[in-house]
A = this chain, B = another copy of it.
Amino acid sequence: VVPDRKRILDVGEDALVTAVITRYGALPEHVLIGPGDDAAVLDIPGQVVASTDTLVEGYDFRRDWSSARDVGIKTAAQNLADIAAMGARPLALLVSLAAPGDLPSRWATELAEGLDDECRRAGAAVVGGDVSQATEIVITGSALGVLSGRPVLRSGARPGDGVALAGTTGPSGAGLALLTAGVATGDDAMLAELVRAHLAPRPPYPAGVAARIAGAHAMIDTSDGLLRDAGRIAASSAVSIDLDPVALTPGDALRHAAAVLHAGHAGMDWVLSGGEDHALLACFPPGTALPPPFRPVGRVLPVDLDHDHDPHTQVLVEGRPWTGVTGWTHFSR
């Protein structure tokens, strides 16, 4: 089969939208009207949770590193994880693609396949979208979910709570470091898995609802690094968070990658500061039986009055401020 290398400029807007829509599987029951009209119509039996997140070529992905399918998975994962982080169940995704006219239409349809794949893994579906012409590729997802009961906010953590993590932090940052260094993963399955974690993260969505049901006081999706995102809970809740370095000890793959890259931190900087893992970090009342796959990684303390109120200093590692990198930020030089 000869790949379709027609440019989206030549395919035209309406035909492109039709080609993309055919890549989406059958619509779940809660989607009353799917893509193709002015808007989608959904039956959402509960409160509606909504969030939006954007990926920009060159900043958030590179076409020489990521397949279009990877970018689709990452777009869906980033957005749907925000729904899970409220204690809600993801249901739907809207996707806007702005791209140069010379983008192969095959890239757009493979993007759609990745979006669809990750949406289905989360129990959601792509319900609508938009295409526009632009100089660089910018993809914005907007996710919708359903919530029964109270949302789990960033602001509810209380001193005494246990801090727990569903998923792992570090693999995405390590994968990015490997890609940046140009390390060929070859037959090395551990390295390849770290690169996959960066290119196509697969968040533990059901852990979001499970955390809410178990009574989580606060939760966040770790998109910008564990320290930075824990800092957001700490700042919103006016508490300190003390992370346990033993519980966060880098696994074999991270230590192996650190060795390959001659990184002196043995993987710990990736665990604490690497972005885009989309694990769920939650604070539970003391004595809570943690729902799987949550595992304890720290505890919530009163704000340490010896420190100022800069959120970065409200997260400690074994009682001390961490002196390494403190997370990935947009708008950095």
Contacts and interface: CB of A to CB of B under 8 A. Distances in A.
B48 A41 contact: yes
A229 to B, nearest CB: 10
B132 A54 contact: yes
| Interface footprint category on A | 35 or more
Contacts of A127: 50
A54 B98 contact: yes
Contacts of A86: 33, 37-39, 41
B54 A130 contact: yes
A154 B38 contact: yes
A227 B41 CA distance: 25
Contacts of A333: 9, 101
A244 interface: no
Contact of A142 (B11, B42, B133, B142): B142
A247 interface: no
Contacts of A130: 52-54, 140
B38 A82 contact: yes
Given A140-B140, A331-B101, A331-B133, A39 B56 contact: no
Nearest to A139: B140
A79 to B, nearest CB: 9
Interface of A: 8-9, 11-13, 16, 32-33, 37-44, 47-56, 58-60, 82-83, 85-86, 88, 92, 94-96, 98, 101, 127-136, 138, 140, 142-145, 147, 151, 153-155, 219-221, 236, 329-331, 333
20 contacts: A9-B333, A12-B331, A13-B330, A13-B331, A33-B153, A38-B221, A39-B143, A41-B50, A42-B48, A50-B142, A51-B128, A52-B130, A54-B96, A54-B130, A54-B140, A56-B132, A58-B135, A59-B134, A132-B138, A135-B135
